[in-house]
Amino acid sequence: MQKLIIANWKMNGTVQDAIKWIAELQKRLDSILPSEVVVAPPFTALYSAQVILQETPFKLAGQNMHWESTGAFTGEVSPLFLKEAGCQYVILGHSERRSIFGETDEGINKKIITAMTLDLIPIFCIGETEMERQEGQMGFILENQIRKGLKGLHIHDISDLVIAYEPIWAIGTGLTATPSQIEETHGYIRNFLEKFYDAPMARKIRILYGGSVNENNAGVILKIKNVDGLLVGGASLDAQKFAKIVKSG
C-alpha cells in the first residue's frame, strides 16, 4: 500500500508561512510522489493553503475538530468548516490534546464517529507514556485507547482509518523509538486489529509512526514492517527537511 506522510505543524505557521512552505515543497518534489503527502497547518491557514494546493498532489488535514457540526460551542471548529476549507483528513486524539486539553477517549470516539459520517478520514493518535512502557503496560494502554476510540464502529466503517502510533516519550524529545520497538509495537497494533475486527479488513488500516521523525531516520522507519507512513511534527516545519522525508519513502 502507498505510504502516507503527514506534516503536523501544531501551533506553528502563519498564512504566509504556509504559502511559502507549499511553494518550496513543490519545488523540491516531483509531481509524481512516492507517497501520499498531507499537511496539517493551523486552522487559520487551511483555506489559503487549499487555494494553492489545488495545483499540487498534496492534501490537507485539520489538527482537531468538534464532534458536533454546528451550535453554541464558542471557540470550537466544526468538521463542516474543515471540509469547506478543503480537508480530507483530520488528526484526532493527539497526545497534546489529551494531556494539555483534557480530551478523553469518549470525546475522541464521538469525534471519530462524526468525522467518518462526514467523510473526513480520522488520523487517530494513540501512544503510551515512558512510565507505562517501563511498567509493561504498553499493550494494555494501546488496546484500551483503540477499543474506546473506535467503540460502536464497524470494521467496514473504519477500513479507511489511519492510526498514528506516537509514543509520548518520543514526541518532540529527539528520542525516536528504536526500529525494533517500532516493529514490535506496530505488529502488536496490527495483531490486535486483526483479532478485534475482520483480519483482511484490518490489514487495510494504515498505521503511521510519529515521534521525533526527521530526514535522517525516516528512510529506516518507513522500511519497518507494518509502518504505513509517518506523522511528522518539528521536522515538518522546514520544507527542505520535509521534502527529504517524503523522498525517503
Catalytic residues, by residue number, are 94, 166
231 contacts ligand 13P (rule: CB under 6 A): yes
**Which cell goes with 197?**
475486527
Sequence-separated (6 or more) residues with CB below 8 Å from residue 46: 60, 62, 82, 85, 86, 87
Residues touching ligand 13P: how many (CB under 6 A)? 14
**Distance in Å, CB of 91 to ligand 13P, minimum:** 7
The letter for the amino acid at 133 is R
d(CA 168, CA 100): 13
d(CA 88, CA 34): 19
**Distance in Å, CB of 36 to ligand 13P, minimum:** 16
Binding to ligand 13P (CB under 6 A) within 85-114 occurs at: 94
238 contacts ligand 13P (rule: CB under 6 A): no
8 contacts ligand 13P (rule: CB under 6 A): yes
With contacts defined by CB under 6 A, name the span among 25-33, 107-115, 131-139, 226-234 that binds ligand 13P: 226-234
d(CA 209, CA 234): 14
What is the phi/psi pair of residue 91, to 5°?
-80, 125
Residue 57 parent element (H or E)? none
**Distance in Å, CB of 236 to ligand 13P, minimum:** 7
Binding to ligand 13P (CB under 6 A) within 202-221 occurs at: 210-213
On the 0-12 / 13-18 / 19+ scale of CB atoms within 10 A, 74 is exposed
234 contacts ligand 13P (rule: CB under 6 A): yes
Q: Which of 132, 166, 215, 228 binds ligand 13P (CB under 6 A)?
A: 166
**Distance in Å, CB of 11 to ligand 13P, minimum:** 12
Nearest residue to ligand 13P by CB is 233
Instruction: Report yes or no: 33 and 246 within 8 Å, Cβ to Cβ.
Output: yes
What are the start-end ranges of the H helices in 59-102? 79-84, 95-101
Point out which residues bind ligand 13P (CB under 6 A).
8, 94, 166, 171-172, 210-213, 231-235
